[in-house]
Each structure stands twice: as structure tokens, then as C-alpha cells.
Structure 1
């Protein structure tokens, strides 16, 4: 539950790529206080790429914007079901440094670019393909690259309660392990999703986190921009 909206922001150009995996693939990679959450007997590994736009403390007149790329799975934890992050790559050196220094969370600096190829305008707000590239530059950790062009292909829809889409995207808290187990809470309206295609030319996030690449093609979703509130990260 979100007790206070400490930060406000908009998430846009969101790509979700979900791969089903055997629960045993992830069970040994999460903290002891968490257990694997499944849907239809499958666990999932998801690559999520998006832009965090106009991030600001509540009431502040000016915010920051930068892309983020993460690999995550889904867990049951001390405060209920949520997302567990293996990495959070971001083009925000100050935020990355603070998260690592204060919490030892798996944030990594990266060079990123997000744009719509037809317009070459990173801030264009329209349908059409989005190219998202990321190259991790953080020293002393495994290299990671991601390069994909994606675009929505279907009509907008909201995930039905109990559906696989709801299991994968309607999560309002996350866990991450640093020097302790941490939990963060967010709040937003339900996602507006669209079926999508993704041409993934490079993706080494699995290898960087010690996984083999899952078999088969992912479930791909594009998400419409959404306003998000976030509480402070707390230990559990």
C-alpha cells in the first residue's frame, strides 16, 4: 500500500517482453524471504524498457527525465505479491549513485537512447515504432546491451482481473536486494495495454544476470503513458 506519494512522474514508451520459464529457473536466484509467484504453473522473466518522464518530488515545479531498462520476475514476499528486480539500468548517474550508495540496490549506469525513427524526435508523442538502445557503462559489473524497435499493433485494452496480463503488469510494489531486502510501493491507474511487435537485435540482460536465454518468443505488450506516484524505498 502506498502511504505517501513522495515522487510523481509519467512513464511512457513502455515495452514489456515476458518469457515463461520453469519456476526452478528463478527459485534459486531470489532472496530467502521471497518465493516464486506463478501463473498457470509458469514463472516469468520480463524485460521492461520505458522512459521515466518529469520525475519530481511532489509539488516541485521541475522534474527529471531518463530511460530505464530492467530484468524482473514475480514473487510473493513479506508484504504480498510484487516484482523482484535483478537489474535497473538507467541513464541517470546521480540517481544510480545514490541508490547504490544508500541501499546497495542493483542500479547500473548506462548510455541510452529512445526515439521514434521517422521523426528522430525523442519526445514525439504519437503512435509508431520506438527504438530503445542501452549500453551499460557501469564499471566492474557484467556488460549488458539492449537494442529493440517496437510498436503497438492492436487496440487498447485493460487487463482483466486474474488474467495473465494482469499478473504481469498490475503490480504495485517491488522488491530488490541490496545490503538488505527492500520494498517500494507505487500507485497508478490500471495500465492501458496494446499487443505489440518487437524487433530485438540485442539483449544480453539474461546472460548478465546469470540466466540462459529462455526458449521461444516473448509475450510483447506496449503500454500507453501513465501517471505514477511512488513512496520511499523501505527495508522489510
Structure 2
């Protein structure tokens, strides 16, 4: 089995979801995807958490083992060749310490 490229634990997670007009996000939607909605409503999420025990290919990263992150994201989907919907996240902004 191949080792994961990046692994980490999410700690102290806080998430706030806001309903927004899809028009606000149109310019951010990646090619070949569309906005993913829930019950007909489009959401953005503001997420804050602690990235802990960060490893790259199983190796701990010096000076980056534990750090905070805040991101603003929304949700997209696309239809694969078999007709199955695949869902994903698009990040508008990620804030991490330097």
C-alpha cells in the first residue's frame, strides 16, 4: 500500500456555514465542476482548526508539526465518465502562520 502524501489530525475544529447567493461564487467555480447545493441552498463555510501531527510521506515536518489554519471554502461537484457525482471543496482563502 502506498503511503499517503500528507497526513495530519484535525483538532479543535470550529465551523460556521452561511447560505449565499450562487452568483457570489460563480467566478471561483473550477472548470468542469458546478456548485454543489444542499436542499437547493448554496453554502460557504468558515473553518478553523489545529493541524496536529503533520507528516509528509510518513515523516514529521520540522517546525510544522502543529499549526492553526482558517479557511473559507465552498462545495462543488462533477459527473465522472460512469455518471457518478463526485464532490469536492474549493478554497477561496486559506490562512496559516508563516
Mapped to 2, the partners of 1:31 and 1:50 lie a distance apart of 25
Partner of 1:192: none
Structure 2 matches for 1:1-236, cutoff 5 A?
4-60=3-59, 62-63=60-61, 64-77=65-78, 80-91=86-97, 93=98
Deviations 1:156-189 (A, max 9, x none): xxxxxxxxxxxxxxxxxxxxxxxxxxxxxxxxxx
Identify which of structures 1 and 2 has the higher relative contact order when contacts are C-alpha pairs closer than 8 Å and 6+ apart.
Answer: 2
Structure 1 SS opposite 2:25: helix
Structure 2 SS opposite 1:28: helix
Greater share of strand residues, 1 or 2? 2
Structure 2 SS opposite 1:5: coil
Cα drift, residue 7 of structure 1: 2.0
Mapped to 1, the partners of 2:53 and 2:10 lie a distance apart of 9
Greater share of helix residues, 1 or 2? 1
Aligned CA distance change for structure 1 residues 54 and 77 (closer, same or farther; 3 Å): same
Structure 1 SS opposite 2:28: coil
Cα drift, residue 16 of structure 1: 0.6
Matched residue pairs, number?
89
Aligned CA distance change for structure 1 residues 59 and 31 (closer, same or farther; 3 Å): closer
- Name stretches of at least 5 consecutive residues in structure 2 with no aligned partner: 81-85
**Could you state the TM-score of these two structures normalised by the residue count of structure 1?**
0.35
Cα drift, residue 33 of structure 1: 2.4
Deviations 1:35-73 (A, max 9, x none): 11101111101100001011012432x441110110000
Equivalent pair of 1:36/1:75 in contact (CA under 8 Å)? yes
Equivalent pair of 1:74/1:84 in contact (CA under 8 Å)? yes
